[in-house]
């Protein structure tokens, strides 16, 4: 079921033209930057957006300008590791085309010191469960943290319910171009 949903939503996401996605991304950025939890967070783990994911590049740059501690992930032997980012120029494309910290710029960071995690996803549901790209890397990472978790997605990526598994870690909020959704309790 999850692979079919993932494929269907990714196909829908690919069909949007760049102008439409750009407008949606702008609104999502405005929504999250105006969200008090984001505004008061000092140490934020961002995913670095890839292809037509919700864009995080400007959020990262703006957070750096505001002197927030910005943490970004990188893959090491199929595990997500964390590095502090001091400047957006410290990123380079890895073999998959995803921006990661340059090896000479790695600054290890402990997940326990993070206030807020910005989480990618292909599909989310009203309880905050998510479907990613199927590797389980983010769930392993999210299990290690009590930080507030915010999923970023386009409105069409939210479904009422998706299949959940024991290892799934839900997000606390979902931010789209239309709303900020509190997930979890009370969403039955």
* Architecture of the structural domain at 2-182: 3-Layer(aba) Sandwich (3.40)
* Sign of torsion over alpha carbons 74, 75, 76, 81: positive
Q: How would you classify residue 10: left for phi > 0, otherwise alpha for psi between -120 and 50, otherwise beta?
A: alpha
Question: pLDDT tens digits, residue range 36-86?
Answer: 999 999 999 999 999 889 999 999 999 999 999 999 999 888 788 999 999
* Sign of torsion over alpha carbons 87, 93, 99, 105: negative
The Cα 56–Cα 127 span in angstroms is: 23
Helical segments of the chain, H only: 2-15, 18-33, 36-40, 57-65, 137-143
The share of the chain scoring above pLDDT 70, in percent, equals 96
Rounded mean pLDDT, 25-44? 98
Higher pLDDT, 2 or 8: 8
pTM for the whole structure: 0.93
């Amino acid at each position: 079921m999850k692979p079919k949903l993932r494929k269907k939503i990714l196909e829908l996401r690919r069909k949007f033209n760049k102008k439409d996605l750009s407008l949606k991304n702008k609104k999502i950025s405005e929504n999250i930057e105006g969200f008090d939890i984001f505004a008061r967070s000092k140490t934020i783990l961002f995913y670095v957006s890839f292809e037509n994911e919700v864009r995080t590049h400007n959020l990262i740059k703006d957070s750096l300008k505001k002197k927030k501690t910005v943490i970004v992930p990188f893959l090491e032997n199929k595990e997500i590791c964390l590095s502090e980012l001091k400047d957006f120029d410290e990123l380079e494309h890895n073999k998959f085309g995803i921006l990661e910290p340059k090896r000479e710029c790695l600054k290890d960071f402990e997940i326990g010191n993070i206030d807020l995690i910005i989480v990618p996803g292909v599909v989310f549901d009203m309880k905050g469960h998510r479907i990613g790209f199927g590797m389980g890397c983010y769930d392993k990472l999210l299990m290690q943290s009590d930080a507030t978790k915010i999923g970023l997605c386009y409105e069409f990526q939210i479904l009422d319910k998706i299949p959940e598994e024991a290892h799934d870690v839900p997000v606390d909020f979902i931010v789209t171009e239309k709303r900020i959704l509190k997930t979890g309790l009370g969403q039955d």
